[in-house]
Amino acid sequence: MKHTDISLLFREPEKYIGQEVTVCGWVRTSAEVKPMAFIQLNDGSTSTTNLQLTIHQEKYSPEDFKNNIKPLMILGTALSARGTVCASERNIVELEVDEMTLLGPCPGDYPLQKKKTSLEFLRTIPHLRTRTNTMKTVMMVRSRVAYAIHTYFTEHGYFYVHTPIITNSDCEGAGEMFRITTQPWSTPHKTEKEYYGEDFFGEKAGLSVSCQLEGEMAALGGLGRIYTFGPTFRAEKSDTNRHVAEFWHVEPEVCFVDIHEIIEIGEEFIKYVIRDVLEHCGEQLAFCDRFLEKGLLDKLRHVSESDFAKVDYTEAVEILQKSGRKFEYPVSWGDDLQSEHERFLTEEYFKRPLFVVNYPKEIKSFYMKQNPDGKTVAATDLLVPGIGEIIGCSERETDYDKLVAAMEARHMPLESYRYYLDTRKYGTVQHSGFGLGFDRLVMYITGVSNIRDVLQFPRTYKHIY
């Protein structure tokens, strides 16, 4: 159906005022104030701005209005409207309706009535919740953040590579993979090897927890500077507001770069994305500032204009221990930082995003470069206020023997990583990279407090929405 997007009418009102156009959309609200009737229409091209349809009732007989116009005023109804665009002091533009056509009726049990609804309730109707101001706004920002990410890497000479979702290796070495199989649940096989030998791939396979290893192989294989951006999966039994089983991951790998340089890249990247969203999503961020997180715009501007803090892990532990704060999980050297520790450091002590550098090697992944002290690795996490970890980053270990030893200490099957290990044999170079939780970044930029509300169909422990 040939029609004009509502967003165009507001973007270039001088072009359309006085012109006849056809618009399509869903009814958000309606009202009857004789001799007029009004419909607020939204077609998805704007977030919170609706087009007012103005209907003169005297154009219709009472029976005609009742039978042909009133059904089109029902909340949730899809319709098309033809008319003349008029200037409006209150609404910028509105449409003086000449003709309306029903596209899709909406019954009375439509769950999005004109009343306040909770985000918890909206999760029960994921197929409809993007019609609400909040979810539509978040999804528009999410789309722009994704665009800014691709733009940043393209402008800085990275190649976008597509890595496999099905893999036979656990990147993190933590065993939190979803297994995939075509085998029936009950089989006569006596051993695991026999069971998987009869499976589709002839061996154990699962959904990828990270694209990093394949990304490293692409970079070291000759591309030099790459990034991946796609879904990853973790069977982590964490039912918190920051965890989902299927999430989107951004993972660059850069050759000839050490830990300090990749930290600089990470900071530059985050600031670039935030500045882009501030520039292009003003209406959406203003909505988020008003309804989701007071002071959001000031926070984002501050982050985009300030230097991130950096602290050594050992010093961070000392700060926490000397804080006088009674934490639920007391911290000592060698422990991983908990959410409460991360929030204290970012929100109360440093009051800005923070890189924590040089973690104990026992709590980090096998591929991270071991520092000369023998106790720590050249790794960092970027922590942001309100969210916690948003980037995990490290220089990668290039010493073949050290890498094998780290893998053997974790009882990892070396044969499954033979191609990865080859990159340390055939002209290896210093390289670094990071993994960004895309959904958490969207949370941070929009002020949404639960990761389930930045994905239309979140998958969480014990629940598929």
**Fold: same for 6-110 and 131-174+209-464:** no
Q: Residue 160's CB: how many other CB atoms inside 10 A?
A: 11
The per-residue pLDDT for 193 is: 84
CATH fold for the domain made of 6-110: OB fold (Dihydrolipoamide Acetyltransferase, E2P) (2.40.50)
Write down the architecture of domain 131-174+209-464 according to CATH: 2-Layer Sandwich (3.30)
Domain boundaries, the chain: 6-110, 131-174+209-464
Q: State the amino acid at position 135 in one-letter form.
A: M
Torsional sign, CA 179, 185, 190, 195: negative
Q: Which two tokens stand for residue 280?
A: 């292009």
Torsion, Cα 231 236 240 241, to 10 degrees, reads -10
- Can you name the residues that pair with 310 across neighbouring β-strands? 355
- pLDDT of the chain, 465 residues: tens digit per residue: 899 999 999 999 999 999 999 999 999 999 999 899 999 999 999 989 999 999 999 999 999 999 999 999 999 999 999 999 999 999 999 999 999 999 999 999 999 998 888 999 999 999 999 999 999 999 999 999 999 999 999 999 999 999 999 998 776 655 588 999 998 877 777 788 888 888 899 988 999 999 999 999 999 999 999 999 999 999 988 888 888 999 999 999 999 999 999 999 999 999 999 999 999 999 999 999 999 999 999 999 999 998 999 999 999 999 999 999 999 999 999 999 999 999 999 999 999 999 999 999 999 999 999 999 999 999 999 998 888 889 999 999 999 999 999 999 998 889 889 999 999 999 999 999 999 999 999 999 999 999 999 999 999 998 887
